[in-house]
Each structure stands twice: as C-alpha cells, then as structure tokens.
Amino acid sequence: MEIINRSCPEGYTFTTQWRYLNAAGQILGYVVRYDRPANGLPAAKQVKPFTFCESPNGKREWRCKGFPEPRPLYGLARLAARPDAPVLVVEGEKTADAAMMRFKDYVVVTSPGGSNAARKADWSPLKGRRVVIWPDADEPGAKYADTVADLLQGIAVATYVVGIPPCMPQAWDLADLLPADLTDNDIAGWLEGAKPARQIVADKPLPLFPPLPPAQPFPVNALGPVLSRAAAAIARKVQVSEAVAAQSVFAAAALAAQPHADVMLPYGQKRPLSLFFVTVAASGDRKSTADNEALWPIRKYEQELKKGYDSERQSWLINHAAWNGEKKKIENDRKLDFEGREAALVDLGPEPEHPLLPFLTAPDPTIEGLHKAWVSAQAGLGIFTAEGGMFVGGHSLSRDNRLRTAAGYSEMWDGQPIKRIRSQDGVSVLYGRRLSVHLMVQPEAAAQFLADQTLRDQGLLSRVLVAAPESIAGTRTYRETSADDDAAIRAYGARILSILEAPWPLTKGSRNELEPRVLTITDDAAALWEAFYNQIERQCGPGGDLQPVQDFAAKIAEHAARIAGVLTIVEDFHATTIDVEAMRSALTLADWYMNEAVRLQQAARTDPKLLEAEKMLNWLRERGKNVIALREIMQFGPSLLRTKKAAEAALAVLINHGWITGVSDRPRKVRLVRGA
C-alpha cells in the first residue's frame, strides 16, 4: 500500500510487515516495521500500525492509525484453526513468528503496541485454553508476563510462565540467536518447565517495604471553626488532600500565635506555642498551591512590614551616615584627650539600629544565617517552603552540618536562648525568639529525612508533626470555585492577620525580644491531658504498641499542649486559659499524629537499612548489567554505600529479600534476579 511508503520516517526504510487477521482469516490491519541503518548514528527502529478506518473527511481508507480498543491479538486465525492446541504468548510480532517456527505444537499469539499495552488487548479468544507466557529477558518482559497472567485469570483454564535463567543476555527473546553455550534442547526444556503463574508470583523477590497502610482521615473539625472551615475550603478549591490543606493552615496559625503566648504545662514548665510540621506529598499533588492559599495573610502582613521598612531604612541610612561621620571626627580629633574623647562618644550615643527586616518566613536558612539575621529580624519567624527537599538535601543538613543544625532547631523548638560564639564577633545571646517550621517534602526526600538516625538520636524528629496522606491525583476533575469556600478562606485570613497585627508582647526596652503571656490549663483540661499522658506512657514500655516510636511518643503530650494553645489563641485572642474543649480538640489531633507516626514506622519507611538497600537496588538496576562486582559498587555505587561494610550490609538485605544472588566470593560478585 502506498500509505506504508508515505508513512516511512525520514532516514528509515521499510523492513517487514505483519498481517492481523480475525478468526475467519479476514484482514484487520497491518503492523509495519521501519529500520534506520547505523550510518554514523545509532541504529533504530519504528513500528507503526495501519488500519482501514474513517478519515477526517468521512472517507473510509487505509490510514496510519492504531487498532480500536480492545485491540485484536496477532495470530487469531491460527488460534481458531487449532482449537485444541496449547497457546504460547510472547512479546512482539517478530518473536511470535520465530516462536511458531520453533514450537510447532503451540499456537503463538501476541498483543499489539509493545509490552506496556497488554491491558488494551482483547484476551477473550484464549478462553478455556492452556496458556504459557514466554517473557523477554528484561524487566519490561517480566512486567508484561505479570500483566498478561493477571488478565488471563478467569479466561484461561491454566496459565504458566517460562522462567528465563539470569544468564541470558539482556532483552533476549525467541527471535534472537541462541548464546553459544545453549542448544535448542535447552530452550525446549525451559518451555516444558514453565511454572504456574501463581507459583511464579510466589517465587518473586519480597518487597523491601511492607505495603503502606492507608492513612486515617485527618480530623479537620478538631482544628476549630476558623481553621477547619479554611482547611476544608482550600482542600476543595485546590483539590488537595484535606491533610495537606490542614497542615498548611495549622502551620500558619502556629506562626501567628507563637509571639503572643506560651503554655504552662501541668507539671509547672513553660513551653512556646511553636510547632514543626512536615507534609509528605509528591510532585503534582498541588502542595505549593495549597500553601499559597494558607499563607496569604502572612504575605499580606509581610507587605505591610515592607512598606514601613522602606521608610525607616531611608531615615536610618541618613542617621547612620551622620552618626558614623561624627564618630570618625571624634576618633580623629587630636585635640581630645582620653577623657574628652570618651565623653564625646558617650554624648554621641549608640550606633543607630538597623530597622527590623520585613519578613516572617524564609525557605532554607542555615543556623548561622538565621542567628545572624535574627539580630535585626522579627522576633517570631517561620521556615516555610513547599520545596522542602531543598532544605532536607541542602547545606543545613549536609553530613558536616547535620548534628549542629538539628541541635539548633531543637533548642529553638524548646524556646531556649540562642547562643552564638564566634572568634570575630565574640559571644551573642538572643532571648525571646520563636520559630515554627513547615516543610512540604516529596516522598523520597521525606524518607531520607525521617530515617536519619542522627536526627532521631538528637531529638529533632520527635519534635516534628508528620502527615503523609495518599495522593488524590486522578480524581481531580475540574470544578468551579465556590463562593462559600472563598468566604471561608477570607475569614481565616482576616483572623490570622488580626493576630499578626496585634501588638507583640516585647521585653521593656527591646524591639524584638518577646515576653509572651502564659496560658494556663484549666483543671478539667489538665485532667484530660494527664489521662492522655498516662495512656501514651503505658504503651511505650517493652512490647508496647508505641515502643518503636518511643521518642515521638515521649513528646506527644507536650505537642498536645502546644496545639491547644494555638487553637485557643486563634479562637479567642485575649484568652488566658486553655479550656477543656480546646484540650479535647488538641488531644484528637495529637492522637492522629501519633497514629501517623506508627503507620509510617510499621511500613518501615523510616528504617535506614531498608532505605540503603533500596538505593543499592535502584543503582544496580540503572547499571543494566546482570552481574556486578563489589569492587565496582565501592567505586561507582551510591555515595553512602562505597565502603565495604556499608555495601555488604545493603547487599545482605537484598539477598535476604531475593532481589540478588551471590555469584562468587573471590572476587565478590552478585547477580540481579531477572525481573527485579
């Protein structure tokens, strides 16, 4: 057909074609292969389907267009002609023709469109047949076999899968030449030894991680009227998980509330209302959009600060220049003796202070940078970023800085004075500072962060409230924004803005040293808190449900008290006590975070040994080699696994789970299991 020649890609030539027939032998279409020779470029192929169908002008003609779904199998006429013959399923038309020549007792079929299109084919013609699947010797081939075996459940009377030995060349199929050390009898033996598909599944490598149980619904209503309505509205408007929206709203509320109050714990110790959040969400889950909706009052307040700052800075520049000029005059005046110069400097007064910097949030400061900025920054700040991977994988948490960063942030969460000792600057101590954090992190970066043993041992991870909801991608059909949702978000923003604009309680004579009032817990609320505290403690002992997350469990009661304080300030800014309703809501939220920590731990998503094994497995797959030497791993492998001890530990995990097998001990070599 002329259409086949016209459709040939530039630089390619027609190689062959395969006719697709129905059971009666009538033509359904063609699949055509074109090849590009290796004339200074890598050889390549393209495969195109041609069907007799309707063109845009309504005329029926041969066109370069795929089969309508469900697509027909290649080999239907042969299948109908031999109703009692066993069926062999292979990948690709070329392979099917070669297999027919090799195994004449079988009817050979395949599906069009390659290994990823098996689900688009019509497998019903195999109903009641005995079927053997022969996969290509690569990962896509193994997945194709799995998919076809799954599709044939309830159709084929029995389904088997040929086990391809790991020694076979990558991507080998029945259309290729046999390796020199194999014979046709070897290949026939593999076919005879095909295992039932269910047994093949059972023999597969064990997953490194257990399935992650579904998260419990986030208790949005426990956030109180203002925050809960806003979180639900953002979730609907942006179409994100309610947990993502709730984390963003909750973090903004903590940032606004933390300058104004502390909470007095029932045992007599005062704590800030600062909260640290980590939200785990994949790229495309609209975490940035949700955060933008939640942070609009913060951004508006920062704009107001910027206007005042611009005016103050102009005055400061003039005053500072005048002061500096006078200081130099005094220092250079040779007529002054020591006492006269000292008196003149006293009369001149201290250096004019730089205006407070007009920001409340920053995405990724170092501990040193934060301390330096805080001399002239607002007293209450937040580390807020929808790209938390930059923080988790950045300079602050590099190997050399990790412990210092973790210790610094832990002290800030505790509300401790911030101390800095430098040879040039001397010692500086900053009192009355508050910091809240919200990192929105992709799953892989979050797994590394939450599994970091240094961060866990230091105590930073026990101070973090984590939410890792399931993605709702695929369900987000377009919807119009609701006026009620916009109203709820505006009302929330107005409340947060009013809290930020209220005068911050400062130490007398200071411009950025907080002296928050203290919220006490009423007796009824304290009784609830104490019962929760005791319930958690009883589960932290040996064999207890919370022992694996004991570090977080030990702080969850304090988290609850802080949460209760934030909810109280949002609902009643002038409150001096935390009542029983606020505490009940806080305990509901704390219980959810406790369950989330247990859920993530049970799925081993925080087990550093399994995470290192996963890195090793991914690297082995990327190498594209069946056999890999330990020496190669230590030279080119993942950076953290290039010592013999670390590499052997990761390989041991993979061997125990069936992903690799040992080949030799001297030199040490391992083989990636086919289909891994």
- Domain 78-204 has what CATH class? alpha beta
**Sign of the CA dihedral running 529, 530, 535, 539:** positive
What contacts 660, CB < 8 A, 6 or more positions away? 620, 651, 654, 670, 671, 672, 673, 676
Query: For 663, phi and psi rounded to 5 degrees?
Result: -105, -50
pLDDT at 525: 97
Cis peptide, bond prior to residue 259, ω within 30 of zero = no
Residues carrying CATH 3.40.1360.10, the chain: 78-204
pLDDT band at 673 (very low <50, low <70, confident <90, very high): confident
DSSP collapsed to 3 states, 132-176: EECCCCCHHHHHHHHHHHHHCCCCCCEEEECCCCCCCCCCCCCCC
pLDDT at 366: 80
d(CA 385, CA 671): 42
Q: What is the pLDDT of residues 133-151, one digit of tens each?
A: 999 988 888 889 988 998 8
Q: With contact defined as beta carbons under 8 Å apart, do 261 and 569 qualify?
A: yes
Residues carrying CATH 1.10.10.10, the chain: 609-672
pLDDT at 80: 94
pLDDT at 560: 98
**Sign of the CA dihedral running 610, 614, 620, 626:** positive
- For 236, which DSSP code? I
pLDDT band at 202 (very low <50, low <70, confident <90, very high): very low
Q: Which of 71-75, 279-283, 619-623, 625-629 has the lowest mean pLDDT?
A: 625-629
The better pLDDT of the pair 667, 268 is held by 268
pLDDT at 450: 80
Which residue in the block uniquely carries the two structure tokens 């998980």? Answer: 241
Q: With contact defined as beta carbons under 8 Å apart, do 430 and 371 qualify?
A: yes
Q: Per-residue pLDDT averaged across 510-520, rounded?
A: 95
Gap between the terminal Cα atoms of the chain: 43
Integer CA distances (angstroms), 14 to 5, 74, 147, in order: 7, 20, 31
pLDDT band at 464 (very low <50, low <70, confident <90, very high): very high
**What is the biggest distance separating any 2 CA atoms in the chain, rounded to whole angstroms?**
119
Q: Per-residue pLDDT averaged across 313-329, rounded?
A: 91
Helices then strands, counting H and E runs in the chain, come out as 23, 23
Beta bridge partners of 584: none
d(CA 546, CA 279): 22
d(CA 14, CA 39): 16
DSSP collapsed to 3 states, 465-516: EEECCCCCCCCCCCCCCCHHHHHHHHHHHHHHHHHHHCCCCECCCCCCCECC
- State the chain's mean pLDDT as an integer: 89
**Sign of the CA dihedral running 311, 314, 320, 325:** negative
Which pair of structure tokens corresponds to residue 163? 């086990």
Q: Per-residue pLDDT averaged across 482-502, rounded?
A: 96
d(CA 462, CA 447): 15
With a cut of 70, say whether residue 426 has pLDDT above it.
no
pLDDT band at 28 (very low <50, low <70, confident <90, very high): very high
pTM: 0.65
d(CA 139, CA 142): 5
Q: Per-residue pLDDT averaged across 514-526, rounded?
A: 97
Q: Per-residue pLDDT averaged across 316-326, rounded?
A: 91
d(CA 257, CA 496): 8
With a cut of 80, say whether residue 421 has pLDDT above it.
no
Q: What is the pLDDT of residues 84-134, one digit of tens each?
A: 999 999 999 999 999 999 999 999 999 998 888 999 999 999 999 999 999
Which pair of structure tokens corresponds to residue 286? 């609209």
The H-assigned helical ranges of 152-274 are 184-192, 197-202, 225-234, 242-257
- Domain 609-672 has what CATH class? mainly alpha
Integer CA distances (angstroms), 297 to 255, 279, 363, 389, 588, in order: 11, 20, 17, 25, 27
Share above pLDDT 70 across residues of the chain, in percent, rounded to a whole number: 95
d(CA 589, CA 644): 45
Compute the residue count for the chain.
676
What contacts 293, CB < 8 A, 6 or more positions away? 234, 237, 238, 245, 248, 489
Q: With contact defined as beta carbons under 8 Å apart, do 520 and 577 qualify?
A: yes
Q: Per-residue pLDDT averaged across 287-303, rounded?
A: 94
Query: For 451, phi and psi rounded to 5 degrees?
Result: -95, 0
d(CA 517, CA 217): 34
String of b and e for 374-386 (b: at least 16 CB within 10 Å)? Answer: beebbbbbbbbbb
The better pLDDT of the pair 496, 541 is held by 496
The better pLDDT of the pair 625, 382 is held by 382
Q: What is the pLDDT of residues 568-617, one digit of tens each?
A: 999 999 999 999 999 999 999 999 999 999 988 876 566 778 888 888 99
pLDDT at 559: 98
d(CA 326, CA 320): 10
With a cut of 80, say whether residue 444 has pLDDT above it.
no
